[in-house]
Amino acid sequence: MQILQDKKIVLGITGGIAAYKTPELVRRLKDHGADVRVVMTEGAKAFITPLTLQAVSGNHVSDSLLDSQAELAMGHIELAKWADLIIIAPATADIIARITAGMANDLLSTLCLATSAPIAIAPAMNQQMWHAKATQANISTLKQWGFHIWGPGAGEQACGDVGLGRMLDVNELVTLSSDFFADKYLQDQHWVITAGPTREAIDPVRYISNHSSGKMGYAIAHAALRAGAQVTLISGPVNIAAPAGCELIQVTSAEQMHQQALAYVSQATTFVACAAVADYRVANIADEKIKKDNEHMQISLIKNHDIVADVAKSAHKPFIVGFAAETQNVEHYARGKLMRKNLDLIAANDVAKAGQGFNSDDNALTLYSAIDKIEIPLANKQIVAKQLVSLINQHYVAKNTEK
């Protein structure tokens, strides 16, 4: 059965250019089993017609607080009670401000005041408007009140600017809608996850790194969020977007990742060390670009801190999951790291095999504890991550039950 099957969703559409995406959003929500009713502001009708939304939703579109026929049955109150979830997409700076101010001068803002249903806001505006102090203060207030803020995304905007402010893509909004209703078995947990590679500078233009794409760590962050966890993602340089809803801490070097990991460990119930951290860094980083004056050059390296081992030594030791990317004797090296670093679990993969691991969309893992060995077969990293998060939680619950 689909997660959105028979869920009642009110989609509020406001006057932004991204309104043109909403028919597709309605179609996709319905494809997943949801019953969708649309509420439009006057501004929204400048970009998309009520007739279009009525055709794709299969329901009457509400667009006026003063519709005498609808209000004979107290239409706005009926909608407020009917909804399992209200999504406002696109949500302009104007509607965000009016909701924050408690205004009720149109149907959508009145609905937000009259409902006890959860409300998700998908911001869509110019990047300068998004960064304006007033908008950020309003968003902060809505978060404190329990509103869900989905986005915005970054990229090129209709006005030609580039930056944060784009409404999330339809696929992302549908995924977030499904995630909202998913089983929240990690509801009371805070996961701190490291992901991606680190870069160790040689000079201002060169660095030492590895082939990690960050896809596995980001997939774990998404799966943990979907299961209800609070997620802090400490990420090295990657070319993928962080899952909406997580706290993203961007770092470059292993030293920076080490500092952030130790700063957040006291808040964590679970720490997942998925990042491919450089074992060594350059002892003396050149201030200027090194010229090719010699046939040979020697670079002196010094060992980096072992992040996951230092987390395991912290006064507040969370449940710790390590990763082992190996090319030979996988089980031997993985179990050695598990014991030597005092981990609770370690997820190992053979990166020598084609089509899995670094820079691939697929992966296969073997999860080891002191007594268990569990295989997660080759699949898309999103699927692998979902299975891994569930298995980690089972071991986390078992350990805490024993205490």
Supply the residues annotated as catalytic: 159
Angle (deg, nearest 10), helices 22-31 and 50-57: 10
Q: 308 near 275, Cβ under 8 Å? A: no
Phi–psi pair at 191, nearest 5 degrees: -100, 130
Q: What is the dihedral of CA 337, 339, 345, 351, to 10 degrees?
A: 20
Token representation of residue 13: 């559409």
Q: What is the dihedral of CA 394, 395, 400, 402, to 10 degrees?
A: 110
Q: 278 near 209, Cβ under 8 Å? A: yes
